[in-house]
Amino acid sequence: MPHSAVHKWYKQTLGVTGKVTLKFANNLAVPRDLTKSSDLAAASRYQDFILGIMANPLFLGKQCPSEVLATPILNLTALTADQISYSYVCQPLGYVWNTFKPSGILMAELEAS
């Protein structure tokens, strides 16, 4: 994950103490018909591709979604444990997040371990 590798290099190699910010935009996938399992699956798949590829490793410390990795026409390989190991988030802005509950916004700071 290039952005995580750059952050790790910035903090550990250069020894810089400044903060690094990443901004993510997500177009929420909404099923056309909540009663159709195919529409629910399509919305979930869309989220896996649009958000899960980067959000799973960065925010959850997990592998990219399995459905994404299993898509035959893509040239994606699973991340190594080392690539995921220093990709996590802390939320120093908990007060703002918990008080105002901004809709559709995640405020986070990456920290390299």
Q: What is the pLDDT of residues 55-79, one digit of tens each?
A: 888 777 889 999 999 998 888 899 8
On average, the pLDDT of the chain sits at: 77
Predicted pLDDT of residue 113:
47
pLDDT confidence tier of residue 39, bands split at 50, 70 and 90: very high
- Is the entire prediction scored with pTM above 0.85? no
Predicted pLDDT of residue 90:
53
User: Based on the structure, what is the number of domains in the chain?
Assistant: 1
Domain that holds residue 84: 2-110
Q: Output the CA torsion sign for 104, 62, 6, 95.
A: positive
